[in-house]
Amino acid sequence: MTSPLAGRPIYRMNGIGNEILVLDLRGADLTVAPAEARAIARAPGLRFDQLMVLHEPRQTGADAFMRIYNTDGSLSSACGNGTRCVAYILGRAGEGDALTLETDAGPVRTWRKGETRFTVDMGRPRLGWREIPLAAAAPDTSNVPLAPAVQGAPTVFSAANMGNPHAVFFVDDPSAVDLATLGPQLEHHPLFPERANISFAKVVAADDILLRVWERGTGETRACGSAACAVLVAAARAGLSAREARVRLPGGDLVIAWGPDDHVLMTGDVELEFETRLEARVFDEQGA
């Protein structure tokens, strides 16, 4: 049977290289099943890092509720680069320059800073070991021993939750890391009961950080906004950086600021690549 999503318009975007699809289901009593998300990800030209699906808001004052899918059909509670893409699409539709978007991790506020530039309030980092979560008690989540060890990985990491769990490893050269090998091993490490986004970072200066990311449920990505936030928090906690810095990823740069109110703000650009409609064969061929 053809998916009811067939024929729906979908927007292909990127947030500094992070491959994003935006699917607006507001006004329709539809949801996306994991198999449908996987089918869309396999369709020619529609491969994504995150699929941002918009539903009617659940609370007064919100503009939309977002569900965020990874390529394997699993759900993510946060995606900063994707949220900026959503803000662009809603702004283009006349929703305004300041928006409140609901997620499973709570409300997220966004502001337009330029034609294609947006700031997202990613909220407060959660730093307790239970709320990250970790599988074992860690009195100092800025310096957690990696046990059991993983060959080729540093022996300690910094952990944080920025809507989803993150593990940050500081290294001399992120480009030299065998991310294809270490990424999946660390994502599924027994210390992370909900898996984790894995970051390898180098602090070049107090306001300049290099970063590569392996995203849970997706793999290596050219950019990850929540990881950039987690890395800035980790670096600042360790005294390696200021509380505001440029975070440089393979796809481009983000400006991350950890404010005195404990909220982490992310600012960066987005690009609309094209708009199309989901074809029935996308789902029929994949058995979705």
> In this model, does residue 288 exceed pLDDT 70?
no
**Confidence class for position 25, pLDDT limits 50, 70, 90:** very high
Is there a single domain that holds both residue 275 and residue 253?
Answer: no
Q: Is residue 135 part of a domain?
A: no
pLDDT tens across 148-178, in order? Answer: 999 999 999 999 999 999 999 999 999 999 9
Q: Is residue 138 part of a domain?
A: no
Is there a single domain that holds both residue 28 and residue 95?
Answer: yes
Is there a single domain that holds both residue 24 and residue 80?
Answer: yes
Q: Is residue 194 part of a domain?
A: yes
Q: Is residue 128 part of a domain?
A: no
Q: What is the pLDDT of residue 104?
A: 86
Q: Is residue 16 part of a domain?
A: yes
Is there a single domain that holds both residue 95 and residue 48?
Answer: yes
Answer with the residue of higher pLDDT: 2 or 241. Answer: 241
Q: What is the 3-state secondary structure (H, E, C) of the chain?
A: CCCCCCCCEEEEEEECCEEEEEEECCCCCCCCCHHHHHHHHHCCCCCCCEEEEEECCCCCCCCEEEEEEECCCCEECCCHHHHHHHHHHHHHCCCCCEEEEEECCEEEEEEECCCCEEEEECCCCECCCCCCCCCCCCCCCCCEECCCCCCCCCCEEEEEECCCEEEEEECCCHHHCCHHHHHHHHHCCCCCCCCCEEEEEEEEECCEEEEEEEECCCEEECCCHHHHHHHHHHHHHCCCCCCEEEEEECCEEEEEEECCCCCEEEEEECEEEEEEECCHHHHHCCCC
Domain count across the chain: 2
Is there a single domain that holds both residue 32 and residue 106?
Answer: yes
Q: Which residues are designated catalytic? A: 79, 224
Is there a single domain that holds both residue 41 and residue 87?
Answer: yes
Average pLDDT of the chain to the nearest whole number:
95
Q: Is residue 66 part of a domain?
A: yes
Is there a single domain that holds both residue 117 and residue 221?
Answer: no
Q: What is the pLDDT of residue 59?
A: 87
Is there a single domain that holds both residue 202 and residue 179?
Answer: yes
Q: What is the CATH number of the domain that holds 172?
A: 3.10.310.10
> In this model, does residue 20 exceed pLDDT 80?
yes
Is there a single domain that holds both residue 54 and residue 116?
Answer: yes
Is there a single domain that holds both residue 149 and residue 111?
Answer: no
Q: Is residue 186 part of a domain?
A: yes
Total-model pTM: 0.92
Q: Is residue 139 part of a domain?
A: no
Mean pLDDT of 69-88: 94
Is there a single domain that holds both residue 279 and residue 254?
Answer: no
Is there a single domain that holds both residue 30 and residue 117?
Answer: yes
Q: Give residue 173's domain range.
A: 144-262
> In this model, does residue 1 exceed pLDDT 70?
no
